[in-house]
Structure 1
Amino acid sequence: MDIGSAIRQMREQLGLKLEAVAMEAGTDAGNLSRIETGKQKPSIGRLESIARAMNVGVTDLYALIENVRVLPATPPVLRDGDDTSYTDDTQVLRRSFAALDAHHRKLVIEFAKLLNRLQKEETAGRESA
């Protein structure tokens, strides 16, 4: 077993979607798929971010390779939720958000809350008409 196989096995054991783990790890599903199939080797930094996205340690992944019994970790609660479709728009939004400083992130969050409130008001207005 190689590191990619260990990542896939751990991800499936935890019941996590490839797209969700890739998004949390700061990469895309295609890249994570290439890592899991052994077509690409992850850098140490990427391996750490993948493990962190699954809420496990890098040592847990290597323990799988060495065939050492590892207690399953609690699946992480991903910020976007497992039912979220990880479209290109979502990936662009997430990367753009990550590039902002704390002040501008707060502004984006407040703007999103405002848009949600406006959308609810518009929906309620249409339903009452």
Structure 2
Amino acid sequence: MNIGNRVRQLRRAKNMKIAELAEAIGVDAANISRLETGKQKQFTEQTLSRLADCLGVDIAELFTSDSKGNTVCKHSDMRKDSANVKDLFRIEILDVSASAG
């Protein structure tokens, strides 16, 4: 899923119109429309941050449809009791591709 489709999915889940989202993050509604249709692919980090905040997700979740369900290890021999758990933390994994021309 690309970022445009993901933004559309998240926006619709919040019952927001394009104009409402655009106003909330301080951009033109046409920019959101172009993002959702894949015609605009360049947004600043600040805009992406405001977009993620408004949609209630982390920036990384704009790029994947599997928000917090990214599974790195499905099975583990570690016992379920918390005494064996020392430090656990989430690692964000992004799959990024870029054009050379």
Q: Distance in 1 between matches of 2:68 and 2:18?
A: 21
Larger radius of gyration: 1
Residue of structure 2 equivalent to 1:61: 62
Computed over aligned residues only, the root mean square deviation of the Cα atoms, in angstroms, reads 1.8
TM-score, L = length of structure 1: 0.47
Structure 1, unpaired ranges of 5+: 72-129
Deviations along 1:59-109, one digit per CA (max 9) or x if unpaired, are 222231xxx2559xxxxxxxxxxxxxxxxxxxxxxxxxxxxxxxxxxxxxx
Q: Distance in 1 between matches of 2:17 and 2:57?
A: 15
Cα distance, 1:43 vs. partner? 2.5
Name whichever structure is richer in helix by fraction. 1
Residue of structure 2 equivalent to 1:23: 23
Residue of structure 2 equivalent to 1:98: none
Aligned residues: 68
Q: Distance in 2 between matches of 1:57 and 1:69?
A: 9
Structure 2, unpaired ranges of 5+: 70-101
Fraction of identical pairs, as percent = 35
Q: Distance in 1 between matches of 2:29 and 2:45?
A: 18
Cα distance, 1:21 vs. partner? 0.8
3-state DSSP of counterpart to 2:64: helix
Cα distance, 1:49 vs. partner? 1.3
Q: Distance in 2 between matches of 1:62 and 1:38?
A: 13
In the TM superposition, 1:1-129 aligns within 5 A as 1-41=1-41, 42-64=43-65, 68=66, 70=68
Q: Distance in 2 between matches of 1:28 and 1:44?
A: 17
TM-score, L = length of structure 2: 0.58
Deviations along 1:15-71, one digit per CA (max 9) or x if unpaired, are 11111111011101111111111100122222111112223221222231xxx2559
Residue 55 of structure 1 aligns with an amino acid whose one-letter code is G
Please identify runs of 4+ aligned residues in structure 1 that moved more than 4 A.
none
